[in-house]
Amino acid sequence: MAENGLQLDDGSRVGVIGGGPAGSFFSIFLLDLADRMGLDVEVDIYEPRDYTKPGPVGCNMCGGIISESLVQNLAAEGINLPPTVIQRGIDSYMLHMDVGSVRIETPLQEKRIGAVYRGPGPRDIQEIKWGSFDGFLQNLAIERGANVINQRVDELLWDNGRPQVKTRKDEPQAYDLVTISVGVNSASRKLFDNLNFEYEPPKTTKTFIQEYYLGEEQIQDVLGSSMHVFLLDIPRLEFAAIIPKGDYVSVCLLGEDIDKELIDNFMSTSEVRDVFPPAWDFDARSCNCSPRINIAGTRQPFDDRIVFIGDSGVTRLYKDGIGAAYRTAKSAATTAVLQGISAEDFRKHYLPACRKIETDNMIGQVMFLVTRIIQGQKIARRAVLRMTADEQKDGESKKRMSMVLWDMFTGSAPYREIFVRTLSPAFLARLLGDLAISITGR
């Protein structure tokens, strides 16, 4: 039973501000559930980007890795990613450190991780060979009955307790429920100044993404179907990866307010330069950007007739942001259709999903703290390399370190699950043994 009598009925109108993954997932789930409940609900998605055009006009500023867990969840929902959307299937990771490199094969021996572009690709793309991931989801929402309005929302107003959405070209449109799914890099964040409750934007940090054109053949020769991950002793750098995608590779840096000094330090290392073709011109980039990402979610991502999902509410720390968009969108849509659209309904039935992600993120902070310690200690880096390499050589051994690293890099498992695995006696005994070998130099 809906709290305060606020619920969706036949003819209700729902406005979704932001047509990225969170907004499209929400629209798909809401329309499916409403149809099962016998409700005729109208959904308008406001999204100014054009996902058919390369470059900034269709770009959503994302590294673009689809985790194993998300692939499986989408398949269970009947959403199968077409080959035109997956630029490259990732079947292994190459872990690079100053003490050596090791290949980590997928534990499932399947290419279940996908490298995608959120839009059609970089600004200098000559031929569009692959589709946009965000565009694919948006088209699914349209097939379910959603209406996409290719305009930017200028104002979010209130009239007699109902939210109104105003674009520059049209008159305000009243809705029974408005869902906010804009990213933290969107100019639309200024809309939230007019809300009936105090909305605290998520805390963010600056990252860096840079694209290089190598061509599909050359990528296969030098990078293959591996995502290349770097654990280097560079201050403020949490995670770095080079991801092959179609004809391009994406260089992604995550950490504490990535700046030019940190970028130059990373790009000048021998570990990075050895991944690229010999004598590669690192100034010949296709495009780059410095998007912000969440490091802490908002405290109250809802009120009567309004709910925040995805990046504007809470997302997973550093990894699997699209997966977090899926989970928050599904929870919010289920609450809206089955429970109600009041603040109390969202507090009881939607907030627990957000808190679960936030709690896992706190464990993730501990995991990345340990990673920073390993990055700063050469003997620790040697021990991790040795343990992982031995596991990869021995086909019969339990790949404890390999699984921990795989799930940390891919975001395929919750941080809590990864952390618990590192506490197992077998894991700790093997790691301590390799640390002893690194110290003694045997």
Does residue 35 sit in helix, strand or coil? helix
What is the model's pLDDT at position 289? 87
What is the model's pLDDT at position 105? 87
Domain with CATH 3.50.50.60 in the chain: 3-60+133-203+294-361
Average pLDDT, the chain: 89
Least confident of 132-146, 162-176, 396-410: 396-410
Least confident of 276-290, 341-355, 422-436: 276-290
The Cα–Cα gap between 229 and 378 comes to 17
What is the model's pLDDT at position 2? 62
The Cα–Cα gap between 371 and 87 comes to 29
Instruction: Assign 301 a pLDDT band (cuts: 50, 70, 90).
Output: very high
The Cα–Cα gap between 285 and 279 comes to 14
The Cα–Cα gap between 280 and 219 comes to 13
Decide if pLDDT at 192 tops 80.
no
What is the model's pLDDT at position 442? 61
The Cα–Cα gap between 31 and 245 comes to 33
Does residue 411 sit in helix, strand or coil? coil
What is the model's pLDDT at position 56? 74
Residues 310/21, Cβ–Cβ less than 8 Å:
yes
The Cα–Cα gap between 234 and 120 comes to 32
Return the sign of the alpha-carbon dihedral for residues 54, 23, 243, 267.
Answer: positive
For strand 92-97 and strand 226-230, is the pairing parallel, antiparallel, or unpaired? parallel
The Cα–Cα gap between 329 and 112 comes to 23
The Cα–Cα gap between 314 and 322 comes to 11
Instruction: Assign 72 a pLDDT band (cuts: 50, 70, 90).
Output: confident
What is the model's pLDDT at position 3? 61
Least confident of 101-110, 164-173, 268-277: 101-110
Instruction: Assign 189 a pLDDT band (cuts: 50, 70, 90).
Output: low
The residue ranking higher by pLDDT, 128 or 40, is 40
What is the model's pLDDT at position 201? 83
What residue has token string 């003997």?
379
The Cα–Cα gap between 135 and 50 comes to 8
The Cα–Cα gap between 232 and 101 comes to 11
Q: Which residues of 94-119 are buried (b: 16+ CB within 10 A; e: fewer)?
A: bbbbbbebbebebeeeeebbbbbbbb
Residue 113's nearest CA partner among 410, 384, 345 is 410
Decide if pLDDT at 35 tops 60.
yes
Read off the pLDDT of residues 380-395 as tens digits, 9 standing for 90 and up: 999 999 999 999 998 7
Residues 201/298, Cβ–Cβ less than 8 Å:
yes
Average pLDDT for 201-220? 90
Burial (CB < 10 A; 0-12, 13-18, 19+), residue 55, is middle
As given in the structure block, the two tokens for residue 142 are: 């349209």
Read off the pLDDT of residues 240-261 as tens digits, 9 standing for 90 and up: 999 998 888 999 998 887 899 9
Read off the pLDDT of residues 137-168 as tens digits, 9 standing for 90 and up: 999 999 999 999 999 999 899 988 899 999 98
Q: What letter does residue 215 receive in the DSSP assignment?
A: -
The residue ranking higher by pLDDT, 81 or 24, is 24
Decide if pLDDT at 89 tops 60.
yes
What is the model's pLDDT at position 188? 62
Ranked by mean pLDDT, the top range of 53-62, 116-125, 294-303 is 294-303
Least confident of 2-6, 271-275, 381-385: 2-6
The Cα–Cα gap between 60 and 121 comes to 10
The Cα–Cα gap between 302 and 3 comes to 14
Q: What letter does residue 197 receive in the DSSP assignment?
A: S
Architecture of domain 3-60+133-203+294-361: 3-Layer(bba) Sandwich (3.50)
Kind plus residue range of the DSSP H or E element containing 253: strand 248-255
Cβ contacts of 220 within 8 Å, gap of 6 or more: none
What is the model's pLDDT at position 116? 83
Residues 328/342, Cβ–Cβ less than 8 Å:
no
The residue ranking higher by pLDDT, 365 or 110, is 365
Instruction: Assign 357 a pLDDT band (cuts: 50, 70, 90).
Output: very high
CA Rg value for the chain: 23
What residue has token string 């410095």?
290
Neighbours of 83 (CB within 10 A): 10
What is the model's pLDDT at position 271? 95
What is the model's pLDDT at position 330? 97
The Cα–Cα gap between 111 and 93 comes to 12
The Cα–Cα gap between 244 and 116 comes to 9
Instruction: Assign 212 a pLDDT band (cuts: 50, 70, 90).
Output: very high
